[in-house]
Structure 1
Amino acid sequence: MADYQIGDKEFAKYKAWLQKEDKAMGTRLKYQRDVRSLQKWLRGRAVNQELLNGWRAALLAEGYAARTVF
């Protein structure tokens, strides 16, 4: 996986894609919250597999169920 930055521009594209895919409103809001949570956790760092694994571990440590943490 190449490093990828999640900025406001990318987030707006993601929101538009979710709408284009005709996702339910609740689903879109949940997915958007998840991406914002990841964005906040990254603190400006580019996304890579190591960081995604770290974010997943942090969510599990916070008590999220494994089946809900991709």
Structure 2
Amino acid sequence: MSRMTCTPKPKENALMELPSEPGAVPGCSECLDFCARRESARSEGDYSGVSDAHVELRRHRAEAHSS
């Protein structure tokens, strides 16, 4: 006797918007440096470098510019 198995119904796959890129805080040279590195990586096709710059910029903003 064969057993029938029930496969779960697939969840709806909806496209999500990507989070916006973090920007520089006006007047902060460190923020501008991260943004420049991000753009340089993007122009070279280094999307891992773009992602790294996002992470570093978000971390910097949280540490240096949070109230």
State the TM-score bracket (shorter-chain normalisation): 0.3 to 0.5
TM-score (norm 2): 0.36
Larger Rg: 2
TM-score normalised per structure 1: 0.35
Structure with the higher helix share, 1 or 2: 1
